[in-house]
Amino acid sequence: MSLTEDDLRAAIARELPGVRADLERLVRIPGIAFDGFDHSQVERSAEAVAELLRGCGLDVQIVRAGGQPAVIGHKPAPPGAPTVLLYAHHDVQPAGDPALWTSDPFEPVERDGRLYGRGAADDKAGVMAHVAALRAFGDQLPVGVVLFIEGEEEYGSDSLDELIETHKELLRSDVIVIADSGNWDIGVPALTTSLRGLVNCFVEVSTLQNAVHSGMFGGPVPDALTVLARLISTLHDEHGEVAVDGLVGREGASVDYPEERLRHEAGVLDGVRMVGNGRLTDRIWTKPAISVLGIDAPKTQEAANALVPRAKAKLSVRLAPGDDPASAYAAVRAHLEKFVPWGAHVEVTLESGGAPCVIDATGPAYDAARAAFTTAWDGVAPVDMGVGGSIPFIATFQELFPQAAILVTGVEDPFSGAHGPDESLHLGEFARVCLAEALLLRNVAGLGE
């Protein structure tokens, strides 16, 4: 006998205290996959996730492909029922400067209905939303499930393609739920239907064999920092539009993003103007963007009166849906090589890349998801939205499982602050997410009847 909506509401309410306690335990584990951090904590995080999945009655294994550990849990489908793959990741971003946090980033604290801590939203709450739905059903789960909890998403998912290929048959499913995005607003759910791609690269310029006296040689001899600054400035026109030939961009986002809301959510200072042209949603979702993430140069307090011989910057290029990482990188490299001033030497190297994606969110599985979201949010229908960030492996799922419906959901809201200080989870919205996932599994089960 299948559980009713009222049954699932009661079950989620019953399970939420335990789900929150387990979420807090996960947040206390600083599982950071970046180089230079204690990777035994990533192992510890994977073990904790595996224990949670075993507690849901799943057959569990910890797997790797040369990188950090992922966790796969599996429970076969009842006869005639579909199988749903539930994705999240258990690794987190580095916390950065602890002084910028109001409280310890790895000690979860509730303030004003939000749970603060690194990974509280991105993406340990995604892990726990899956666990909450499974616990709500207990031994009456109406679908087969495969939980795939990655361990190095924040570090670039370098081994993910190999993991998916190695375990392709185990991961094969009818519906894929990726809980690593967010909702449109507090009180307004969303399905993510497009994401930008990503190319991270380095540009290094050189003008001198060694540093030389700025008074003796400054004037005719260019320093590398000035060259780098002028080169970076060519990446945008006077309006802030990306000025690199060959990058794809388009318009047509279907949702308005009020500028006042964006300024508030991003923390833009008074008087700072938005850059670029067109609707804000186009600029964030469907057009390319180039940002300077860092520069290698002497610190101001340590800088001598000398011309800097070499300078290096890291660039982040967000790609519009429809672009290709390889051709985009080639376009950026060609631009930098063409516009480097004064004959300075320039070297451009690729760090990483990931493909953008567009999801055709039509069909029975998407109808089932929208119905679940509308019920969980008490009649508020979900918005179809784009995301300016990147989840490159979605394209891998699309390629390997072309018949599967891919649903990109998440627990974040515009104030979650993922990747920044004081990352947080809105606990009321989290409860709705958990209910929505349980309802989704029930609705999807009906598709196999």
What pLDDT sits at residue 391?
81
What pLDDT sits at residue 284?
92
Residue 415: CB atoms within 10 Å: 14
5-37 as b/e, with b when 16 or more CB fall inside 10 Å?
Answer: eebbbebbeebbeebbebbbebbbbbbbbeeee
**pLDDT, tens digit, for every residue of 211-232?**
999 999 999 999 999 999 999 9
What pLDDT sits at residue 163?
94
Per the CB < 8 A criterion, the answer to whether 425 and 121 are in contact is yes
Per the CB < 8 A criterion, the answer to whether 306 and 223 are in contact is no
Angstrom distance (rounded) from CA 306 to CA 14: 67
Per the CB < 8 A criterion, the answer to whether 136 and 11 are in contact is yes
Per DSSP, the three-state class of 7 is helix
pTM to 2 decimals?
0.88
Angstrom distance (rounded) from CA 39 to CA 385: 35
Angstrom distance (rounded) from CA 346 to CA 315: 14
Per the CB < 8 A criterion, the answer to whether 416 and 313 are in contact is no
Residues 6+ away with beta carbon under 8 Å from 344: 205, 206, 207, 222, 224, 227
Residue positions annotated with a catalytic role: 91, 153
Q: What is the mean pLDDT of each run of 10 residues along the chain (449 residues)?
A: 90 98 98 96 98 98 95 96 97 96 98 98 97 97 97 90 93 95 94 93 98 96 98 97 94 81 92 94 94 95 96 97 95 98 98 90 96 98 90 85 93 93 97 98 85
Q: Is 422 left (phi over 0), alpha (psi -120 to 50) or beta?
A: left
- Residue 278 sits at the vertex; the CA angle it makes with 294 and 199, to the nearest 5 degrees, is 30
- Residue 387 sits at the vertex; the CA angle it makes with 386 and 391, to the nearest 5 degrees, is 120
What pLDDT sits at residue 399?
87
What pLDDT sits at residue 449?
57
